C-alpha cells in the first residue's frame, strides 16, 4: 500500500492564509511588512528561487525589493549595501541569496545582517537562540518548514527516533536541534548521519522519521526505510534526463517511486518541503514587522 503524501503546497497555503490576517492587522497600524532580496551574480537557480519569493510576497501584500549585484562584486561593496538595508526602517527583513561568489564570505555576510532583520535565521545570534531553545530568534526557513509539515500532518515526534541525513548548517544541524528541544512538536531522539557515518542503512532502518538533506540524488532507497516510517525529502538535485527538453530533471534525495511503497507518510518532490521554505520566510518577515512596533 502506497504511503500517504504530505501536501506541502496545501499546508503552505494554510500558513499564508493565516499570515494574511496578520498583514492586514499590521496595515491598520500603518505598517506594511518589507523584505529586501540581495542576489550576487546570475546563478540560474538563485534567479528562480528569488523570483518565487518575490511572487509570494506580492500575493501576501508584503513589499519586496530586489538588489542584483554583478558576479565580481567585492565583499566590501556587498557589506556597504547591507548597511544601507539595515538602516532602512521600511525594511523588516533582509535575505541574501546563496550561493555567493568565492570572493565573498557567507559567514561574514550572514553576520552583517541585523539579527532582527535576519529572516533567514543565519545570524550567529539567531543560531545561538535556536540552540538554546529561545523562541524569540528566527528559525531557518527550511528546518522550520519541516517542523510545520510534521506538526500539521499529525506526526508524533515525542519520543520518536529521528534520523537526519546531512549535517549542513542550513538544514541538517538546525533541524536536529529543533527536533530534540524539550517542548511540543519536538522531544525526539535524533541521530545525524553524514559522509563519515558507518553503516548508514542500519541507522535509517531504525528511524520512525527519516529526513534526507544531504544533497545526493535519490540516495535513500526502499530497503533503507522502516515500513510505515515518515520520510521527508529536503534534497534538490539536477540529474541527466534524455526525455527532458533541457536534458536534465530535478529529483530529491529519496528514490520516491520505490520508497513510497514502504513509507507511511512521505513528501513528494516537488510539492513537499519547497513551498514550506517560502511560507516560513513570509512568516519570519511578518513577525519581524510585528516586532518592530511591539
97 catalytic per annotation: yes
Given the residues 118, 120, 208, 253, select the one marked as catalytic: 120
The number of C-alpha atoms within 13 Å of 34 and in the hemisphere containing its C-beta is 15
Q: Kind of pairing, strands 248-251 and 237-240?
A: antiparallel
The number of C-alpha atoms within 13 Å of 19 and in the hemisphere containing its C-beta is 28
Given the residues 16, 53, 129, 283, select the one marked as catalytic: 53
103 catalytic per annotation: no
Count H helices and E strands in the chain, helices first: 10, 11
The whole-angstrom separation of Cα 280 and Cα 15 is 8
27 catalytic per annotation: no
Given the residues 97, 117, 173, 233, select the one marked as catalytic: 97
| Integer CA distances (angstroms), 186 to 95, 178, 225, in order | 27, 7, 21
The whole-angstrom separation of Cα 288 and Cα 40 is 24
The catalytic site residues sit at 53, 97, 120
Amino acid at each position: 500500500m502506497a504511503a500517504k503524501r504530505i501536501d506541502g503546497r496545501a499546508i503552505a497555503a494554510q500558513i499564508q492564509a493565516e499570515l494574511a490576517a496578520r498583514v492586514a492587522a499590521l496595515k491598520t497600524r500603518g505598517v506594511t511588512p518589507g523584505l529586501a532580496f540581495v542576489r550576487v551574480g546570475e546563478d540560474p537557480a538563485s534567479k528562480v528561487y528569488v523570483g518565487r519569493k518575490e511572487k509570494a510576497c506580492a500575493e501576501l501584500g508584503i513589499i519586496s525589493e530586489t538588489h542584483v549585484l554583478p558576479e565580481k562584486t567585492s565583499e566590501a561593496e556587498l557589506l556597504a549595501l547591507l548597511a544601507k538595508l539595515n538602516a532602512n526602517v521600511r525594511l523588516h527583513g533582509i535575505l541574501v541569496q546563496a550561493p555567493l561568489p568565492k570572493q565573498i564570505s557567507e559567514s561574514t555576510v550572514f553576520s552583517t545582517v541585523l539579527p532582527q532583520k535576519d529572516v533567514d535565521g543565519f545570524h550567529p545570534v539567531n543560531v545561538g537562540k535556536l540552540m538554546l531553545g529561545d523562541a524569540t530568534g528566527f528559525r531557518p526557513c527550511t528546518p522550520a518548514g519541516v517542523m510545520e509539515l510534521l506538526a500539521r500532518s499529525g506526526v508524533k515526534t515525542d519520543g520518536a527516533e529521528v534520523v537526519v541525513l546531512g549535517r549542513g548548517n542550513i538544514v541538517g544541524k538546525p533541524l536536529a536541534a529543533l527536533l530534540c528541544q524539550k517542548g511540543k512538536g519536538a522531544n525526539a531522539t535524533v541521530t545525524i548521519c553524514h559522509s563519515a557515518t558507518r553503516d548508514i542503512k542500519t541507522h535509517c532502518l531504525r528511524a520512525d522519521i527519516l529526513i534526507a538533506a544531504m544533497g545526493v540524488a535519490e540516495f535513500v532507497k526502499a530497503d533503507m526505510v522502516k515500513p510505515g516510517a515518515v520520510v521527508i525529502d529536503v534534497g534538490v538535485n539536477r540529474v541527466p534526463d534524455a526525455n527532458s527538453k533541457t536534458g536534465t530533471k530535478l529529483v530529491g534525495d529519496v528514490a520516491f517511486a520505490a520508497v513510497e511503497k514502504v513509507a507511511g507518510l512521505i513528501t513528494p518532490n516537488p510539492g513537499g518541503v519547497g513551498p514550506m521554505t517560502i511560507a516560513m520566510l513570509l512568516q519570519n518577515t511578518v513577525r519581524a514587522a510585528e516586532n518592530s512596533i511591539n
